[in-house]
Chain A
Amino acid sequence: MANAHTSTFSAFKATLKRDLLIAYKRKNDVVNPFMFFLIVASLFPIGVSPEPERLSLIAAGVLWISALLAALLAMDNLYRADYEDGSLEQLLLSPHPLFFMVLAKNIAHWLVSGLPVVLVSPLIAYMLSLPDGSYHVLFLSLLLGTPVFSLLGSIGVALTVGLGSRGLILAMITLPMSVPVLIAGTLAVQQTQNGASLLGFLAIMGAMLLFALTLAPLASAAALRISVN
C-alpha cells in the first residue's frame, strides 16, 4: 500500500501552502506584528529626539529591536491553532520527516511576518535618518537575520504550546537566543559606516542563518513531540 505515497517535497509544499492560506484568511495575525513594528519604530523620534544627528546614531538599533519584538509578537500563531484543533497531531503522524514539515511552517511564518518588516525597513530607516550609505547593509542584514528569529522562536513556541498560561516564558526562552543575531545585525550597520567590510558581517549572519536552518527545526520537532505528549 506504499505505492501512492507523496514525496516529502509535496507534503512540504502542501504544508507551506496551507499555512500561507491560513495567514491570508486571518489577516489580523499578519497585520498586527507589522503595525506593531511601524508603531514602535516611529515612537523613537517622538520619545528620544527628532534631531537627525541623534536619530542616525540609534537608527540601526531601533530597527533591529523593533523587528525582534514584532517577530516575538507574531510567534504565538505558529503552532497554537494547530495544537488546539488537532492538526499538529496529524503533522506529527505524517510519514515524512517532521524536520521538513516544521521547516515549511517556519518558512511560511517568516514570509508573512518577517518579510514585510524587511521590505518596509528602508522607509522607517529614512524616517530615523539612517546615514545614506547604510540602507543596503540594513536591508541585507535584516533579510538574513529575521528568518533566524522565526526559526529560533519556533523552538520556544514548540516548547510552550502545551502550557495553559504562558505569559513571559516565550520571551524568556526566545530573546536570549536571539541576542547574537541582534548584536551582529546592529554591528554590521554601525561598523560599515566606519569603513568596515560588509562581506564579513554578511558571512557571519549567513552562517547564523545556515546554523539555524539546519538545527532549529530539529529542536522544534523534538519540542513538539514533547508538547503533544
Chain B
Amino acid sequence: MFRNESRKITSVLCKCFGIEFLQVAEDITHDTFLKALETWTYKGVPPDPVAWLYVVAKNQARNYLKRNTLFLEKISPALQYLNSERQDMDIDTSDQHIRDSELQMLFAICHPSISSESQVGLALKILCGFGIDEIATAFLTSREVINKRLFRAKDTLRRIKADIEMPPDSEIEKRLDAVLTTIYLLFSEGYYSECQDSVLREDFCMEAIRLTALLLENKQTHQPRVDALMALMYFQASRFPARRAGNREIVLYDDQDESLWDQVLIARGAFHLRAASTGSSLSTYHLEAAIAYWHTIKEDTPQKWENILSLFDQLLQIQYSPVAALNRTFALFKVKGPGEAIAVAEKLELTDNHYYFTLLGTLYLKVDQEKARAYLQKAYLLARTSPDKHTILKKMATCNKS
C-alpha cells in the first residue's frame, strides 16, 4: 500500500507544483510516510489510512508553501489554486485526477532530452515508488550511481521545464513511442535482470503492466501497438510461477513445468493481441507479442517453428538487433536443421555473448562433438548466472556421453 500511495501522492503534488519542484514533491511524500511511521506505529493505523496520508501530504505541502518564498513566487498560479479552495479540498485527489497526473508524469519523465536508462530509473522511483536501494539492486549497481543518475535527470527536466501535460496530438505518436520504449525496458529490466531477487523483479514487470494499463485507459494513447506491448508482457509474465519453481534459481524455459504457466495471464495476453490486430501498422511489439504467443505452447510442432521463424524475419526487417538475429537462428534450426542454422550463426560473430556460444554448441551437438564441446566451453566461461552455467553444463554432459 505504501508504495502505491507514495507514487500517487508524488505525481499529484508534482502536477500541482510543476516539474521544477519534483524534488520538493518527493520530499513531501517522503515526510508524509515518515509521519505515518512515527504515528501509526504507536497510536494505531487510522480507520481510513489513505485519506490520512492525503490530509497529511496536503498539510505538509501547505506548510512548505508558507515557508519557502522562492517557491511562493515561482508557483503563484498553483498557490492561488491552493488558497482559493482552502476551505475544503486543496489538491484534487480524485481517482481520475490521480490517474491523469500519473499518465502526464509518465510522458514528462519519458522526455527525449534524458537518456533511456535515466527514464527507466525515474519511472521506477517516481511512478512506481521504488527506493534507491531497490533500483540499485535491480541494476546491479551502487546507490551512489543511481542517485547521481536520477539527480542529473531531474536537473535536466527542471532546466527544460518539461510540461506535465499530455503532448499535443501532433506529437503524440513520437512521444508515445518513447514512453513504450521505457515501459519495455522497465519490463525487460525485471524479466532479464541478473539480480537474484525474484520478488523485486516481478514487481518491476507488474509495474510495467500497470503503466501500460494507464495508457490503454486513455483514448489518446489507446493504440494497437500499446495493446501489442501489453500482450507481450502478459505472455511473458505468465511464466513467473514456473520460473520461480526451482529452489533458489530461475528455472529456464526448456526445464519449466508448463502446468505452472498462468493461464489467466495467457488469456489476457490473447485478448490484447486480438485487440492489437486493428489498424494498418505493424509494430515490433506486434511481432514480439506473436512470438511470445507461440512460446505459450510448449509442444514443438513444425507449424510453431515455421511461424516463429517468419515472425523473426519480419521483426529483423523492421528493426535489426543482434539478439533477435540470434533467436531467429534457433528458429531456423528448428525448421531447417543444424546445417543451415550453423552457416547463418557463424556469420553473426557475437563473440562476447554466452548465448551465442551456447547456441553454436547446441547446433553442433549432432554434427561435430569436438566443436560442440569447444563452443560450450567458451559459453561457460562467459556465462555469469548459475542457471545459465547449469544449462551449459547439462549440454556438455550430453556431448560427453555420446
Partners in one complex: no
